[in-house]
Chain A
């Protein structure tokens, strides 16, 4: 079972934070097929958030076919997000490390690297590349 947390300063809406945390847990292998998500009541009693926020997040995850609701029992993981956990993407990680070394050599500080990455990520997502 995983536990959700809420970052109220991130500007990301609470329901999306829950969606992201489930996806992240799936990617990291913390959640596997058949695992149960916390019940809506458990989540709201812990985070003091509106039940609809949790329901909306779970519906979204259902829509993505990542989880399925079993009425009266709870919500369960139906599919692993990726066939391979993150650890298996070693070559990609290696590329990224090399890129980071280059960026530092070019004189970029951490903040600029992050901004450059996010900016590139967003524009390629908008262009439909990613």
Chain B
């Protein structure tokens, strides 16, 4: 199957600063994919390149097998909602609908009307007077009414209160259930991602640290707690992602496909948040060690 987004050596430079460099990844299609990573990882740059708001400095990117925003047809295939939801504050909601219908031959006006009715807002209202939650919902409605194959959402709920956030995700999941649109969603809120996504990508410094089906990731990671032990003495099939120790005890986060048989370990499941944090902490280690002065612990 053609990936939703596929990049090879993708880079974007602003002056001397690389916002994204040598990024190679494949985001599967027909899923709800969570993209998570620290600030500056390149998530927004990557998603902006995917919708054609930016063009690459180096490398290549295809979205649903084609160049982003190269044709009107390609723009119709991809819906986009950004964090600072791009509505025109002086135009009414109804104006936005007319604009969307004008720009997109495949525009589903019934769908847009139905969604907006559910939101209980006056479509004569100017976009500038909407609440943050309503603005996000209108932006989602506009993105979905063109019946895209892929919906790209860049931190759509970051600035919303908990209730508006939950309502946004409820509507998003309803849309996925009825239209089977693929979704790529970036967020810092791992608990949200765990609810709504079935696939996760952890991106740090333009590199994929780990990716896969969330259920498989959770099933293949374990905390091992036991008497102090050298990480290199663990079996080959247990990859140590993170290790910490006291004078007596070792705690490892390991990735393994096999059951842990060593009775010396207390084995615990790993939550998604801990898993993400471990990969985020692990990633820049090489860089940090290089920068550290000799008397600073790496």
Contact B191 A44 (CB under 8 A): no
Question: Digit string of B21-36 for contact with A (CB within 8 Å is 1, else 0)?
Answer: 0000000000010000
User: CA A6 – CA B195 in complex, angstroms?
Assistant: 10
Contact A13 B215 (CB under 8 A): yes
Within 8 A of B (CB), among A1-40: 6, 8, 11, 13-14, 40
Contact A50 B195 (CB under 8 A): yes
Contacts of A45 in B (CB 8 A): 170-171, 173-174, 177
Question: Digit string of B4-35 for contact with A (CB within 8 Å is 1, else 0)?
Answer: 00000000000000000000000000001000
Q: Is B271 an interface residue (CB 8 A)?
A: yes
User: CA A73 – CA B177 in complex, angstroms?
Assistant: 15
> Whole-angstrom distance from the CB of A4 to the nearest CB of chain B?
13
How many residues of chain A are within 8 Å of chain B by beta carbon?
17
Contact A48 B177 (CB under 8 A): no
Contact A41 B174 (CB under 8 A): yes
Q: Tally A-B pairs: CB < 8 A.
A: 49
Contact A8 B191 (CB under 8 A): yes
> Whole-angstrom distance from the CB of A54 to the nearest CB of chain B?
8
Q: Is B258 an interface residue (CB 8 A)?
A: no
Contact A11 B177 (CB under 8 A): no
> Whole-angstrom distance from the CB of B261 to the nearest CB of chain A?
14
Question: Digit string of A39-56 for contact with B (CB within 8 Å is 1, else 0)?
Answer: 011001111111111000
User: CA A129 – CA B5 in complex, angstroms?
Assistant: 50
User: CA A6 – CA B172 in complex, angstroms?
Assistant: 18
Q: Is B101 an interface residue (CB 8 A)?
A: no
Binding site for B on A (CB under 8 A): 6, 8, 11, 13-14, 40-41, 44-53
Binding site for A on B (CB under 8 A): 32, 166, 169-174, 176-178, 191, 194-198, 215, 218, 269, 271
